Amino acid sequence: MRHFLADDDLSSAEQLAILDLADALKTTPYRLDSFAGPRTVAVLFDKPSTRTRISFETAIAELGGHPMIMDTAISQLGRGESIGDTARVLSRHVAAIVWRTSGQERLQDMADNAQVPVINGLTDQYHPCQALADLQTIREQKHQLAGLTLAYVGDGANNMAHSYLLAGSLAGMHVRIGAPAAFQPDPEIVNRAQHLASSSGGSVQLLHEAKEAVLDADVVATDTWISMGQEHSRRDREAIFMPYAVTTALLDLADREAIVLHCLPAYRGKEIDAAVIDGPQSAVWEEAENRRHVQKALLSFLDEQAEVA
């Protein structure tokens, strides 16, 4: 059974095929009815969400399926039923499972016990659906991915940084992370990204200065400094990350035609200035919309793979 637990669960060719299909689905949204019946897709949330819920719910409906959205806090999973038993029961009812949770090992446990594809709707380690939407957005704006430089500044140890490293490397991009020394990415993920980059023609650079990271970059990306579950360390983190804010002055160091991405939710005046996110170089609304298109492509791809398995 194929799952999508991390960005590198796809090959470069599969990633490209999904992006092509996502573009086609953006132009003609009802060309596929992969989940007609309707077959049900479960979308489970251990953490809050706006975009992931909206985009999966609409994506599944547009594919002819029935989205079953569940807040796990009011399920038996939330009061201690095992992930394995939940996976076994879900597999008797649904065609795929999307799950937003904390530790990657929880998602792995779900996949190990499910008989249907499992998709990562965000974990502490990765946000691979978001990275796919970001690649679709970059390609729309820049007409290529391979060879472009993507600079991510801020918390280099969070899910978005890790997904940019893997998804960008798979696509042949030059990925730069500009983050404080104590918030550099997980070395194991960096190794995987470097390995992917060595065959795709991309590269990985870990830097400590935001200015150095964004210099002449084609894409400047950032994310909240306080990811879900880190609220207790808000004050310390804000002080540490302040020099990594995407201001107009920082953006001026990037390529003149650079675009700005942010997965949202954004905190204006913290990791990104209002003038940047609401300015002419921002592609964040397109990026938010592309979640639906790319997730439709991903769901159809995994469903096809499950049928042939």
Which residues of this chain interact with ligand NVA, rule CB under 6 A?
122, 127, 158-160, 223-224, 227-228, 263
- Smallest gap from Cβ 265 to ligand CP, in A, equals 6
Indicate which of ligand CP, ligand NVA, none lies near residue 75 (CB less than 5 to 8 Å, by partner kind): none
Minimum CB distance to ligand NVA smaller for 39 or for 237: 237
Indicate which of ligand CP, ligand NVA, none lies near residue 50 (CB less than 5 to 8 Å, by partner kind): ligand CP
Minimum CB distance to ligand CP smaller for 227 or for 300: 227
Q: Is 284 in the site for ligand CP (CB under 6 A)?
A: no
d(CA 237, CA 22): 36
Residue choice 25, 42, 43, 49 for contact with ligand CP (CB under 6 A): 49
Indicate which of ligand CP, ligand NVA, none lies near residue 158 (CB less than 5 to 8 Å, by partner kind): ligand NVA
Is the CB of residue 247 less than 8 Å from the CB of residue 214? no
CB neighbours (10 Å) of residue 243?
14
215: left (phi over 0), alpha (psi -120 to 50) or beta: beta
- Smallest gap from Cβ 127 to ligand CP, in A, equals 6
Minimum CB distance to ligand NVA smaller for 134 or for 273: 134
Candidate segments 22-30, 50-58, 141-149, 214-222, binder of ligand CP by CB under 6 A:
50-58
Q: Is 264 in the site for ligand CP (CB under 6 A)?
A: yes
Residue choice 31, 33, 36, 50 for contact with ligand CP (CB under 6 A): 50
Indicate which of ligand CP, ligand NVA, none lies near residue 159 (CB less than 5 to 8 Å, by partner kind): ligand NVA
Q: Is 52 in the site for ligand CP (CB under 6 A)?
A: yes
Minimum CB distance to ligand CP smaller for 227 or for 281: 227
Which residues belong to the active site? 100, 127, 130, 223, 263, 291
- 221 phi, psi to nearest 5 deg: -125, 150
In order of 6, 53, 83, 114, the CA distances from 69 in angstroms are 22, 8, 17, 18
